Amino acid sequence: MSSNFIIRPVTREDYDQWLPLWEGYNTFYGRSGPTALPEEITKITWGRFFDGYEPVHALVAESDGKLIGLTHYIFHRSTIAIGPNCYLQDLFTTESARGKGVARALITEVYEQARLTGSPRVYWQTHETNSTAMALYDKVAEKSGFVVYRKNT
């Protein structure tokens, strides 16, 4: 991989290279094998990136014609702001791209897309054991202090 890369919106032609990144991301978070996401979720997620009515977006990092990273982000309304908030839902780079500024560049481009959309805030979450990612996140954002609760229904 060259040290040069670009960040750009995903295109329909990227699917075959996007899919292994998506699968790598899900594997990292324990969603593989018997706990893998159903194929239908992957197909619907992919389609949402190209549906103008969906608030779901995707960026990829490309180097020498190969995708080396992805991020997915979602705009949504908030009760405490006029502009939409931006939730950076997924961020993943190939092992060979780590430590080379790819994740930081993906986050920075999400910041830019949020700014262009009038979003006053970009936020995300990560697992408490993801110390490598948190070392970067501590440099590019601030911890909110909030704890996430959830319940599957």
pLDDT exceeds 80 at position 1:
no
Parallel/antiparallel/unpaired status of strands 85-93 and 122-123: parallel
Map tokens 């780079």 to a residue. 93
Tokens representing 70 are 């992805």
CATH code where residue 82 lies: 3.40.630.30
- CA gap 8, 106 in Å, rounded: 9
Residue 1, in any domain of the structure: no
**Residue 20 structural domain:** 6-140
Which range is least confidently modeled, 51-55, 108-112, 127-131? 127-131
Q: Residue 3 has what pLDDT?
A: 67
Task: With respect to residue 95, please indicate whether it lies within any of the assigned structural domains.
Answer: yes
Please check whether residue 15 lies inside any domain of the structure. yes
Does residue 44 form part of some domain?
yes
Q: What does the pLDDT average to over 48-66?
A: 97
> Quick check: 140 pLDDT over 70?
yes
* 152, part of any domain: no
**How do residues 84-96 score in pLDDT, each as one tens digit?**
999 999 999 999 9
Q: Is residue 150 situated within a structural domain?
A: no
- Spell out a b/e string for 26-55, using b for 16 or more CB atoms within 10 Å of the CB, else e: beeeeeeeeeeeeeeebeebbebbeeeeee
What's the pLDDT score for residue 117?
A: 95
**146, part of any domain:** no
Of 10-14, 16-20, 130-134, least confident by mean pLDDT is 130-134
Q: Is residue 151 one of the residues assigned to a domain?
A: no
